[in-house]
Amino acid sequence: MERNVAIVTGASSGIGMQIAKNLKRNGFNVFGLARRVDKMNALDNLGINTMYLDVADEDSVDAAIKQIVAQTGRIDVLVNNAGYGSFGAVEEVPLEEGEYQFKVNVFGTMKMIQAVLPTMREQHSGRIINISSVDGKIAQLMGSWYVGSKFAIEGISDALRLELKPFGIDVIVVEPGVVASEWSAVAMDKLVDSSANGPYAGMARQAQNFMTATSQFASQPRVVARLVDMAAISRRPKTRYAGGAGAKLGLCARKVLSDRAMDALMTAMYRYTSKMVNHEIAINR
């Protein structure tokens, strides 16, 4: 009996690696895809198929999907997890960096979807699971490019859900909150590189302190992987799953508060966490 086939992008670390492990444990024939193939040896040891993939390279995507279809003849689940966070003031982040943020987070996701759809349509079945973020609903200070990319994923997923329903294909969004991963380190590096000096330096420090403070309460990647399990396995999956530190509380606040009230809440949170971090630094000196 053929096993269902699941593809996970960004599987070389953190959330993506845990998603691949969970789906394997749940009986899927899993393909873990990432640029850093050398970081996926642990997945190889579990019997997970690992392959090179750069979602920003269309030829790379086409080659990977062609190989998987040739090997298995089917694709049942696509988990679009690959992505990164580019932070910094819009005025100071080079436009090329902003474009690359969208190329990876948005166009990379869309290219993956385009590549798997012919197979899923022929099957008249399939599930596309897009890893978004609470930042797809709530704006973060100094995060315009990243937040914009995740807002885009939210809207695209809603449109795709209508478009693909007649073909028996489900589109599901997973919205993680604060999760322990390499994402925060990359985001902070980008923030420091672009805006640590100059007119936005004060706000950059607040944003950096906020990331530092909230990382202490970060959930483990398995929390998000369990949400993906439900999205992949449930007979009638929800259109959205949210989880991880602060996710449900933040999304609830976004739903009930006005824009100005939400702005005031976020501003207060940034100031409070910044004071906490600065106080802790002063004590430890």
**CATH number of the domain where residue 257 is located:** 3.40.50.720
Whole-prediction pTM:
0.93
pLDDT in tens, 246-258: 999 999 999 999 9
* More confidently predicted of 178 and 186: 178
Compute the average pLDDT of residues 39-56.
97
Is the pLDDT at 280 greater than 70? The verdict is no
Determine how many CB atoms are found less than 10 A away from the CB of residue 192. Answer: 15
* Residue 190 pLDDT level (bands cut at 50, 70, 90): confident
Name the catalytic one among 146, 200, 241, 270: 146
Please, where are the H alpha helices in 124-215? 144-164, 183-195, 201-215
> How many domains is the chain partitioned into structurally?
1
Q: What is the side-by-side strand order in the sheet with 5-9?
A: 49-52, 29-34, 5-9, 77-80, 126-131, 169-176, 240-243
Annotated active-site residue 146? The verdict is yes
Is the pLDDT at 184 greater than 90? The verdict is no
Give the domain extent around 37: 5-284
% pLDDT > 90, the chain: 82
Q: Which residue matches tokens 């602060």?
A: 246
Distance of CA 3 to the CA centre of its chain: 26
Is the pLDDT at 1 greater than 60? The verdict is no
pLDDT in tens, 196-232: 899 999 999 999 889 888 888 899 999 999 999 999 9
